[in-house]
């Protein structure tokens, strides 16, 4: 490594001093500072007078060990590549306790944590603090118990955060996104009472995330790293259960977002016939078509990484308007109306397959059942007739074998 002149060293030291004494971070989403330097935040006044001004929401907070171990090297705490080998630990719970929900805040690692009692404090010297944060308006938080939130992204928090949280009754917020999408919830701050009863297991107060009655998460106490839960479907319930009406801890705060493509609005004179996590099928109404493909049907595919559809969805147009405007010929118009396009033929074939695969077997089975029923009926009827005729024959034979004597008159004279 080339030696630095005294002038270069002086310029670097001056630059470092200017960076270390720069104004508080504002308007950005990443804040960095040396471990020996206070970390300052200021979200601005905004609508603070009306109670809806922006407040600090910390998403991640990490300490990175110094890359320079040589005491004679220049003062430097910035880690250019945030590799895991330099990630010494998280201080999320400490900065949330000091700065969460505040408009302005100053955080000092030595003052606002218990790290000074640890033996490994030396490895934090001349290290770097890196915080990912947002300034969020108070009115943008969803906190109303029993409410349903239909949004692609947003924030949820408990009532009273960060001063206290409420209990009794149970507070549930339902998150809902489009069919075919999933919901990812990341809890960035949890500060709830744990079970204070010796020998008891579980949480006295807890935050739960449930989907269709299935519990995906139950957490109490505090968290020092973000906790992420992802749903399988489009609906999640976030529930705070507490045994006291009011408890002096922060509660919880989290961020949610939809995963997957948002369902596009149906085109004019068209409709959506099918949607899942990866595909969506749209159709134009009868006598309408998509103008770029001259077909009634369009299938969109959602990209896994981009979370965007692979094609556009224009409005459907009337075939008669296209004909009147000279955009299609009479032959094309008749073909489109009569359904002689390839897709229309495919649709007719599909419907024909449905007829052959479903209707025809059903008719055949019905005929067989009715035929069998008729045969059984005839057999029973014939048997009944044979029995009746046989009974009459037996009666005649009995009469012939044992005829009754005819009535006789006694002609003998009466004895005197």
Two tokens, residue 360 = 């025809």
Query: Which range, of 8-22, 119-133, 213-227, 332-346, averages the lowest pLDDT?
Result: 8-22
Buried b (16+ CB within 10 A) or exposed e, 168-188: eeebbbbbbbbebbbbbbbbb
Q: What pLDDT is attached to residue 216?
A: 96
- pTM score above 0.75: no
Q: What pLDDT is attached to residue 381?
A: 80
Two tokens, residue 134 = 């947002």
pLDDT category of residue 15 using cuts at 50, 70 and 90: very low
Answer whether residue 194 shows pLDDT above 70: yes
pLDDT category of residue 266 using cuts at 50, 70 and 90: very high
Q: What pLDDT is attached to residue 264?
A: 94
Q: What pLDDT is attached to residue 337?
A: 86
319-348: average pLDDT: 78
Contact 232, 252 (CB under 8 A): no
Contact 33, 39 (CB under 8 A): yes
401-407: average pLDDT: 53
Q: pLDDT of 101-152, one tens digit each? A: 999 999 998 888 876 555 555 667 777 888 999 999 999 999 999 999 999 9
Q: What pLDDT is attached to residue 22?
A: 35
Q: pLDDT of 384-398, one tens digit each? A: 765 555 555 455 455
| Residue reference for tokens 């006789």 | 408
pLDDT category of residue 402 using cuts at 50, 70 and 90: low
pLDDT category of residue 383 using cuts at 50, 70 and 90: confident
Q: What pLDDT is attached to residue 34?
A: 82
Rounded CA-CA distance 249/309 in Å is 44
Q: What pLDDT is attached to residue 362?
A: 82
- Higher pLDDT: 385 or 204? It is 204
Query: Which range, of 184-198, 240-254, 264-278, averages the lowest pLDDT?
Result: 184-198
DSSP string covering 238-262, please? Answer: EEEE-SSSEESS-EEEEEEEEESPP
Q: What pLDDT is attached to residue 296?
A: 94
Q: What pLDDT is attached to residue 5?
A: 46
Answer whether residue 221 shows pLDDT above 70: yes
Query: Which range, of 12-16, 40-44, 55-59, averages the lowest pLDDT?
Result: 12-16
Contact 226, 60 (CB under 8 A): yes
The percentage of residues in the chain with a pLDDT greater than 70, rounded to a whole number, is: 70
- Higher pLDDT: 27 or 46? It is 46
Which SS3 state, helix, strand or coil, does residue 109 take? helix
pLDDT category of residue 273 using cuts at 50, 70 and 90: very high
Taking residue 303's Cβ as centre, other Cβ atoms within 10 Å add up to 12
pLDDT category of residue 43 using cuts at 50, 70 and 90: confident
346-366: average pLDDT: 68
DSSP string covering 292-338, please? Answer: TTTBSEEEEEB-TTT-SBSS--PPPEEHHHHHHTTSS-HHHHHHHHH
203-217: average pLDDT: 94
pLDDT category of residue 162 using cuts at 50, 70 and 90: very high
251-274: average pLDDT: 96
The DSSP letter of residue 355 is I
Contact 152, 177 (CB under 8 A): yes
- Higher pLDDT: 151 or 76? It is 151
Of 137, 127, 27, the residue nearest 69 (C-alpha): 127
The percentage of residues in the chain with a pLDDT greater than 90, rounded to a whole number, is: 49
Answer whether residue 263 shows pLDDT above 50: yes
Of 291, 348, 281, the residue nearest 319 (C-alpha): 291
Sign of torsion, CA 372 373 378 384? positive
Bridge partner residues of 185 (DSSP): 229, 256
42-68: average pLDDT: 74
Assign 3-state DSSP to the chain and report helix, strand, coil percentages, each to 5. Answer: 30, 30, 40
Answer whether residue 411 shows pLDDT above 80: no
- Higher pLDDT: 340 or 141? It is 141
């Amino acid at each position: 490594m080339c030696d630095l002149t005294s002038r270069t060293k002086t310029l670097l030291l001056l630059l470092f001093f200017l960076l270390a004494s720069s104004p508080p971070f504002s308007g950005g989403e990443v804040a960095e500072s040396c471990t020996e330097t206070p970390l300052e935040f200021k979200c601005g006044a905004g609508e603070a007078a009306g109670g809806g001004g922006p407040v600090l929401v910390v998403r991640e907070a990490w300490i990175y060990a110094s890359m320079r171990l040589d005491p004679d090297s220049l003062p430097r705490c910035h880690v250019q590549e945030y590799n895991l080998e330099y990630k010494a630990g998280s201080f999320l719970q400490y900065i949330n306790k000091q700065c969460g929900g505040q408009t302005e805040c100053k955080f000092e690692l030595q003052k606002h944590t218990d790290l000074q009692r640890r033996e490994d404090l030396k490895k934090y010297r001349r290290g770097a603090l890196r915080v990912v944060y947002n300034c969020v308006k108070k009115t943008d938080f969803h906190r109303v118990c029993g409410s349903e939130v239909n949004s692609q992204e947003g924030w949820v928090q408990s009532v009273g955060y960060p001063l206290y949280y409420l209990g009794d009754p149970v507070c549930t917020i339902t998150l809902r996104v489009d069919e075919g999408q999933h919901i990812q919830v990341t809890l960035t701050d949890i500060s709830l009472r744990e079970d204070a009863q010796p020998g008891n297991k579980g949480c006295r107060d807890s935050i739960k995330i449930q989907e269709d009655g299935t519990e995906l998460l139950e957490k109490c106490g505090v968290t020092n790293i973000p906790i992420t839960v992802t749903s399988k479907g489009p609906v999640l319930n976030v529930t705070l259960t507490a045994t006291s009406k009011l408890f002096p801890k922060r509660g919880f705060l989290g961020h949610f977002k939809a995963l997957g493509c948002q369902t596009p609005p149906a085109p004019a004179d068209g409709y959506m016939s099918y949607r899942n996590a990866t595909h969506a099928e749209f159709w134009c109404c009868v006598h309408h078509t998509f103008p770029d493909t001259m077909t009634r049907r369009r299938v969109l595919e959602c990209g896994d990484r981009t979370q965007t559809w692979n094609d556009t969805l224009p409005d459907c147009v009337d075939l008669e308007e296209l004909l009147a405007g000279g955009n299609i010929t009479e032959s094309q118009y008749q073909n489109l109306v009569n359904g002689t396009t390839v897709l229309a033929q495919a649709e007719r074939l599909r419907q024909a397959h449905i007829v052959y695969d479903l209707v025809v077997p059903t008719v055949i089975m019905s005929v067989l059942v009715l035929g069998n029923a008729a045969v059984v009926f005839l057999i029973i009827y014939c048997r009944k007739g044979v029995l009746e005729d046989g009974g009459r024959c037996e009666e005649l034979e009995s009469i012939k074998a044992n005829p009754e004597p005819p009535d006789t008159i006694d002609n003998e004279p009466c004895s005197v």
